[in-house]
């Protein structure tokens, strides 16, 4: 019997990519390649471009917007920028979103997209039992309609199996059922089995959790921000002689983190992370931690960045004719008691609006963080 689709997401996205890649390689090793197009299998970009030319992949898998430039892995669906914002809100443990043009694709990711069979196969699978009277969202739909559909389609997978014969995943999980049974018996033994008190508490808790998830899914996005975490300088010691630092990014309800650099107070990450910009625009929060194995990670400082000036500059530049060279738009001045360790310049560099920032970490003895921001408006 085929494994329940929801079980895939109990693993990390990378584990799911590996399974997809193995399926892809095994399938194509057995195929006759005599009629295959003349495409260099080692060139990920050419293979990706070939996949984008498939008829079904020329439209967003979720709302039908033409020319989708984003992919939702590990589903292998090509989607538009508006749907990509909702996919990001599901979390990377469910849907990892990457850009066709802005990200460098690995062979593993291209294999995953190829193995999915494109949007036609994705929709055949994840919309197999879409009710006849159900209206899919269109490109001009509301944020709420888009969010509700994507959650049902991918997170809850309500359209994968016939509702007559489907059953919740938790009923198939014997360990979960035994654990719930044990907790119920334990509550009775300790005298906490009052039926009305427990029922309203549980209902109130579930309602708050559901409301929070719904609010996250229905956030409107105004664009994307690429954050290049370059390096840290003179960070604080949190181990005996040094630290194992990494950076955590937060923007609204989104969180991402860099790799850990071992045993250094001057780490060089050179790592790019990308987040959707919600509306209203919150500050970009950066936290530096020291990775510990057996205890909780130690804080090494934090700082907030107001990204509104960068967004405003990107909007003003949308209709600009400047496509080459570098043009300074504005300069933010550093101060002895502020978060800017050096003057920060917002400039148009080869048509892209960027800001280089050297940040002075707060709530710590010392330490600086060097980053570069790039804003991509939703219209682009």
Q: What is the pLDDT of residues 131-164, one digit of tens each?
A: 888 889 999 999 899 999 999 999 999 998 766 5
> Which one, of 101, 26, 41, 37, lies nearest residue 71 by Cα?
101
pTM: 0.57
What average pLDDT does the structure give for the chain?
Answer: 79
Q: In the CATH hierarchy, which top-level class contains the domain 42-155?
A: mainly alpha
- In this predicted structure, the answer to whether residue 112 has a pLDDT above a threshold of 50 is yes
Top-confidence residue, 308 or 172: 308
For residue 176, what are the contacts with CB-CB under 8 A and spacing of at least 6? Answer: 170
- Token pair in block for residue 273: 């992370």
How large is the average pLDDT for residues 224-253? 94
Residue 247 burial (10 A CB sphere; 0-12, 13-18, 19+) = buried
Confidence band of 24 (pLDDT split at 50, 70, 90): very low
Return the SS3 of 205.
Answer: helix
How far is Cα 367 from Cα 344, in angstroms, rounded to an integer?
A: 17
Q: Which range is most confident: 16-25, 58-67, 103-112, 369-378?
A: 58-67
Cα end-to-end distance, the chain, whole Å: 45
In this predicted model, what pLDDT tens digit does every residue of 266-314 receive, in sequence order?
999 999 998 889 888 999 999 999 999 889 999 999 999 999 999 998 8
Q: What is the dihedral of CA 78, 317, 251, 265, to 10 degrees?
A: 110
Summarize pLDDT for 27-48 with one digit per residue, the tens: 444 444 434 444 444 478 888 8
Please, what is the angle between helix 81-90 and helix 195-217, to 10°? Answer: 150
**Where exactly are the structural domains of the chain?**
42-155, 221-377
332's torsion region: left (phi>0), alpha (psi -120 to 50) or beta? beta
What's 221-377's CATH class?
Answer: mainly beta
């Amino acid at each position: 019997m085929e494994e329940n689709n929801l079980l895939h997401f109990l693993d990390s996205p990378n584990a799911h990519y590996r399974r997809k890649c193995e399926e892809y390689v095994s399938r194509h090793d057995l195929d006759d390649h005599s009629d295959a197009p003349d495409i260099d299998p080692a060139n990920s970009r050419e293979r990706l471009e070939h996949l984008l030319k498939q008829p079904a992949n020329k439209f967003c898998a979720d709302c039908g917007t033409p020319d989708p430039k984003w992919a939702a892995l590990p589903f292998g669906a090509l989607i538009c920028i508006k749907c990509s914002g909702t996919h990001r809100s599901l979390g990377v443990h469910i849907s990892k979103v990457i850009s066709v043009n802005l990200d460098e694709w690995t062979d593993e990711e291209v294999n995953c997209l190829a193995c999915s069979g494109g949007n036609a196969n994705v929709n055949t699978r994840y919309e197999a039992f879409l009710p006849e009277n159900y209206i899919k969202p269109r490109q001009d739909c509301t944020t709420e309609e888009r969010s509700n559909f994507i959650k049902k389609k991918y997170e809850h997978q309500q359209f994968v199996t016939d509702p007559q014969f489907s059953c919740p995943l938790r009923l198939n999980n014997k360990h979960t059922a035994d654990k719930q049974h044990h907790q119920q018996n334990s509550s009775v033994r300790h005298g906490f089995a009052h039926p009305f008190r427990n029922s309203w508490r549980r209902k109130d808790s579930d309602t708050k959790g559901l409301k929070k998830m719904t609010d996250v899914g229905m956030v409107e996005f105004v664009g994307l921000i690429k954050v290049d975490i370059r390096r840290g300088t003179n960070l604080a010691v949190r181990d005996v002689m040094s630290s194992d630092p990494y950076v955590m990014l937060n923007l609204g309800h989104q969180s991402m983190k860099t790799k850990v650099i071992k045993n250094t107070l001057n780490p060089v990450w050179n790592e790019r992370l990308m987040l959707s910009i919600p509306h209203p625009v919150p500050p970009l929060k950066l936290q530096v931690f020291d990775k510990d194995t057996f205890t909780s990670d130690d804080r090494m400082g934090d700082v907030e960045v107001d990204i509104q000036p960068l967004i405003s500059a990107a909007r003003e530049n949308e209709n600009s004719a400047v496509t080459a060279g570098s043009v300074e738009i504005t300069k933010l001045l550093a101060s002895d008691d502020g978060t800017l360790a050096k003057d920060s310049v917002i400039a148009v560099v080869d048509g892209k609006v960027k800001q280089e920032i050297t940040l002075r970490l707060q709530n710590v003895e010392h330490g600086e963080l060097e980053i570069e921001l790039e804003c991509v408006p939703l219209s682009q």
